[in-house]
């Protein structure tokens, strides 16, 4: 054989004669080769078969969250309504890209922080975005857990389950930041203590949408602005699927 451009010699043997296939045999050989290629193409995505994204639409039920200025003057939109609708929009974009998505809620229902974390932990999510909205600030605010990074342990307290994943969550925030910046959306990065986020045993980032400032301002309820953010987040998660190690 040839290794790094040098010949490695072994005992000399005579190569076996290559059988000659009749025309019909050559045809079947071609069919078998094509079948093997199709099978390989079918099995190739298996390496990302477990890639699951959890979208956590904040608030719900009696917990309405903040009050957001609606497009109509003097009207307000509950944060819980906005986050649920935005989660649905983002889920559609991700599904169109072949990414499996689970929502922590798909209706106006109440769900505690630990229940939301349990959804992500049970699925061994590859990424979880906790979706929020605010009427203050500009662009998108990305928050990772403020817990001190710690080694993985089966004895981690539930409220600090995120500790072994903090570094990966910061990496996920970086991927989201890059995609949003490329889309022209200003980003604020930070770290905070959120019970739901701190209880997730997976890469997790809180994503808070604010109105768009600058030369082309847009209300948080502006459909084009929401599409701009949602497309950027979808692109980021697509990149995360190809770059991040799987759980």
Domains of the chain, start order: 49-243 (3.40.630.40)
| Those residues with Cβ within 8 angstroms of residue 144's Cβ, 6 or more apart along the chain or in another chain | 166, 169, 170, 172, 173, 190, 191, 197, 204, 205, 206
pTM, full prediction = 0.78
Quick one: pLDDT at residue 153?
Answer: 64
What is the DSSP pairing of strand 127-133 with strand 52-57?
parallel
Quick one: pLDDT at residue 96?
Answer: 97
Quick one: pLDDT at residue 243?
Answer: 83
Residue 218's CB is within 10 A of a number of other CB atoms, namely 15
Cα 96 to the center of its chain, rounded Å: 13
**Tens digits of pLDDT across the chain (247 residues):** 222 233 323 333 333 443 443 444 444 343 333 333 223 323 333 345 589 999 999 999 999 999 998 765 567 899 999 999 999 999 999 999 999 999 999 999 998 999 999 999 999 999 999 999 999 999 999 999 999 998 766 666 888 999 999 999 999 999 999 999 999 999 999 999 999 999 999 999 999 999 999 888 999 999 999 999 999 999 999 999 998 565 5
Angstrom distance (rounded) from CA 123 to CA 12: 56
Quick one: pLDDT at residue 215?
Answer: 87
Quick one: pLDDT at residue 49?
Answer: 59
User: Distances from the Cα of 177 to the Cαs of 53, 142, 143, 196, in angstroms?
Assistant: 17, 8, 11, 21
């Amino acid at each position: 054989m040839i290794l790094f451009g040098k010949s490695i010699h072994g005992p000399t043997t005579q190569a076996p004669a290559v059988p000659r296939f009749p025309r019909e045999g050559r045809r079947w050989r071609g069919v078998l080769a094509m079948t093997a290629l199709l099978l390989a193409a079918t099995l190739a995505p298996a390496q990302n078969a477990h890639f699951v994204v959890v979208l956590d639409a904040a608030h719900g039920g009696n917990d309405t969250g903040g009050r957001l200025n609606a497009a109509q003057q003097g009207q307000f939109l509950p944060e819980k309504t906005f986050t649920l609708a935005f989660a649905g929009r983002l889920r559609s974009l991700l599904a169109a890209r072949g990414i499996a998505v689970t929502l922590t809620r798909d209706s106006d229902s109440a769900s505690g922080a630990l229940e939301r974390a349990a959804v992500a932990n049970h699925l061994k999510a590859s990424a979880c975005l906790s979706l929020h909205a605010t009427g203050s600030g500009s662009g998108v605010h990305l928050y990772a857990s403020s817990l001190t990074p710690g080694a993985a342990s089966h004895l981690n307290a539930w409220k600090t389950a995120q500790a072994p994943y903090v570094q990966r969550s910061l990496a996920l925030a970086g991927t989201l930041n890059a995609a949003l910046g490329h889309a022209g959306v200003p980003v604020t990065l930070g770290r905070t203590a959120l019970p739901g986020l701190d209880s997730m045993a997976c890469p997790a980032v809180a994503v808070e949408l604010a109105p768009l400032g600058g030369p082309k301002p847009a209300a948080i309820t502006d459909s084009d602005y929401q599409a701009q953010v949602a497309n950027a987040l979808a692109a980021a998660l697509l990149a995360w699927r190809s770059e991040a190690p799987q759980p």
